[in-house]
Amino acid sequence: MVNRILTFLNKEFNGVNEAALLLGGFAFASQLLGLVRDRTIAHIVGAGPILDVYYAAFRIPDFLYLSIASLASITVLMPFIMDKMNSKEEGMAKAKAFMNNVFSAYMLFMICISVLIGIFMPVIAKVIAPGFSEAQMTLLVMTSRIMLFSPIFIGLSNLIGTITQLYKNFFIFSLSPIFYNIGILFGIIYLYQYLGVYGLALGVILGALMHFIVQVPIVISHGFFPRFVSKIAWLEIWKVVKQSLPRTLALSCNSLAFIALIAMASELKEGSISLFTFSYNLQSVPVGIIGISYAVAAFPVLVKSFSAKDIGNFISHITSAARSIIFWSLPVIALIVVLRAQIVRVVLGSDTFSWIDTRLTAAAAALFVLSLATQSLVLLFVRGYYASGNTKKPLLINVSSSLATIIFAYLLIYIFKAYPQILINLEILLRVKDVPGTIMLALPMAYALGSLLNFILIWVMFQKDFLHNKSSKISKTFIQSIIGAFVMGIVAYLALSLFDDVFVISTGLGIFLQGFFAGIIGISFGVLALAWMRNQELIDIVDVLSHKFWRSRVLAPEQKEL
């Protein structure tokens, strides 16, 4: 049975759309469980001071994971290991020695830095959440210390995940994030009732441990499980670090920007961190399904094309993937903005998570999702630069946009306080006029503006370096997708009003049915509009769906964040 599953996943893919659809399927399954996790914690814990502590406690372990553990990422390690294995003399022994070196250096760094951070956590906690009360600060320090174990296990999982994917055990690797969420759910459902927020933290540790353990038997069966060595070949480690450093610095900048936003949220109304995080997690679902899937699917083809100096093919695949991202993103933006209240209520709504929480989270999610297309396109263009060997430009652009996001947040909070009419106009636009705590909407708005700036900068540079104004097809797709998204949004909005009298929208089932049927009708009219315009992306997707795209072989993406 296992062999049949692995064979099912190991065939070469014929196009970026096929690989992206397969990756999108895996991402959807993982994100769906993530939504179950969020609904469970919203129902059991509820948006408030305890959940604020829990989400704030993630920030330093997450930064540690991105800044240290990501140095030994799969995309960086795999070429080194394959190069060792392909060497004529003792290739396998060299590959195993290399893994032992990376494992030893990783454990040494992670343990030492984790201990240091644990010692100075009382100081660091005041930076993460300056608005917390003394009781919350005490909980934050201890919860963060507990969670420091999670980046160690997730990093180890990604490390041995290199071997899992090297031997094409994609199915096993794709199970890791599922087990991670199962561990977190165990902490929410069972441990929280006995240990409070510490139980939530222990659930994260359990999930991270399961993320790692699920791959261990496969790695041992290949005789590749790393062991600690006292004499580390530091020259080899430096080569790995040098290769992955730009990507790691870019991820670290994103994490620092998010820490700054969380710090600002801690000084606003209680529960702001929770609602901000819930809305961010919701917008991460389409980013993971669309943006990451197409960026990861396109990367191997881009590397191959650039290595072969086939710039025409390189540009063709970039533009094709960009058009597909636009094709999917703009209609999704329209639907989420229109159906935001229904989506949030179905995913998170309960007696603990009130209608006021729902409305504010929905408004924040709408602002976040406005950056769906720009976030997804940035992921693609960054991969394009990486494929060409240029890692400096995307790093500089990312640093600039991360800094801009923090500045935007400070400015927007100041503007909303100094000129309340501007905030009132935003409240009216997003239908949260009578909801307290709307000033937190400055944070997702700042994030969206930072993402837009990031896209503009990288688009200008990418145009200059590669496309040379060969983007007419992208413009055509953009115009057609805008029209299709507009049709979907308008029809879905009108359908919502129509179904007000059909379903009992005071119940969860009624809200779901109202949003579901309104969305289906909106999508149907949008697809008809795209078909009438003879949209090429729609034709391509129909063609891909008519083939057995699930037989594609792809390199699954590693854990992006904790």
Structural domain contains residue 560? no
pLDDT of residue 52 exceeding 90? yes
How large is the angle between the packed helices 59-67 and 121-128, nearest 10 degrees? Answer: 100
The CB-side HSE value for 541 (13 A sphere, CA atoms) comes to 16
Least confident among 2-11, 224-233, 343-352? 2-11
Which of the two residues, 231 and 5, has the higher pLDDT score? Answer: 231
Is 90 exceeded by the pLDDT of residue 171? no
pLDDT band at 550; cut points 50, 70, 90? very low
Which residue did the predictor score with more confidence, 439 or 474?
Answer: 439
d(CA 19, CA 317): 13
List residues bridging with 552 in a β-sheet. Answer: 11
In sequence order, what are the residues at sequence separation of 6 or more whose Cβ sits closer than 8 angstroms to the Cβ of residue 30?
174, 177, 178, 181, 288
CA dist., res. 52 & res. 60, Å (int):
14
The pLDDT value recorded for residue 56 is 94
Q: Is 59 contained in some domain?
A: yes
Report pLDDT for 20: 57
- Residue 4: pLDDT band by 50, 70, 90 thresholds? very low
Domain count within the chain: 1
In a domain? residue 248 = yes
Copy the structure tokens of residue 261: 């936003």
Its pTM stands at 0.86
Does residue 418 lie within any of the structural domains? Answer: no
Q: Which two tokens stand for residue 522?
A: 């909106």
Q: Is 69 helix (H, G, I), strand (E, B) or coil?
A: helix
Distance between CA atoms of residues 302 and 153, nearest Å: 31
The 3 state secondary structure assigned to 281-307 is: HHHHHHHHHHHHHHHHHHHHHHHHHHH
Q: What mean pLDDT comes out for the span 170-198?
A: 88
Residue 432 lies in a domain: no
With both helix axes pointing from N to C terminus, report the angle between 134-147 and 121-128 in degrees, rounded to the nearest 10.
Answer: 110
Residue 465, pLDDT > 70, answer yes
Residue 79 pLDDT greater than 50, yes or no: yes
Q: Locate tokens 């165990």: which residue?
A: 186
pLDDT band for position 81 (cuts 50, 70, 90): confident
Q: Name the residue with higher pLDDT: 521 or 26.
A: 521
Whether the per-residue pLDDT at 555 is higher than 60: the answer is no
Contacts of range 135-139, beta carbons closer than 8 Å, 24 or more positions apart: 136/49, 136/52, 136/53, 139/50, 139/53, 139/197
Q: Which domain holds residue 118?
A: 49-228+237-263
pLDDT at 2: 36
- Report if residue 421 sits inside a domain: no
Task: Find the range with the poorest average confidence among 204-213, 241-250, 425-434, 521-530.
Answer: 241-250
Predicted local confidence at residue 166, as pLDDT: 73
2 sits in which H/E element: helix 2-9
Which one is predicted more confidently, 277 or 352?
277
Q: What confidence tier does 434 reach under pLDDT thresholds 50, 70, 90?
A: confident
Band the pLDDT of 24: cuts 50, 70, 90. low
Instruction: Return the structure tokens found at 379.
Output: 């992921």
Would you call 351 helix, strand, or coil by DSSP?
coil
Q: Return all residues near 402 (Cβ < 8 A) that are at least 6 apart.
A: 253, 254, 256, 257, 450
Domain-embedded: residue 78:
yes
Reported confidence tier of residue 170, pLDDT bands at 50, 70, 90: low
Per-residue pLDDT, averaged over 245-266, amounts to 88
- State the pLDDT confidence band at 370, using cuts at 50, 70 and 90: very high
Average pLDDT over residues 175-191: 91
Above pLDDT 70, what percent of the chain? 88
* Span 332-356, pLDDT tens digits: 999 999 999 999 998 887 778 888 8
| pLDDT band at residue 17 using 50, 70 and 90 as cut-offs | low
Tens of pLDDT, residues 114-124: 999 999 999 99
pLDDT at 6: 36
What does the pLDDT read at residue 167?
74
Which pLDDT band holds residue 324 (cuts at 50, 70, 90)? confident
The two structure tokens encoding residue 159: 């490390």
> 329 near 286, Cβ under 8 Å?
yes
Q: Does any domain span residue 103?
A: yes
Kindly state the average pLDDT of the residues 155-166.
Answer: 82
The DSSP bridge pattern shows strands 11-12 and 552-553 to be parallel
CA distance 41 to 31: 15
**For residues 410 and 257, is the Cβ–Cβ distance under 8 A?**
no
Whole-number pLDDT of residue 426: 93
Q: Which is more confidently placed, 253 or 303?
A: 253
Which of 110-119, 393-402, 537-546 is least confident?
Answer: 537-546
Residue 432 in contact with residue 351, Cβ under 8 Å? no
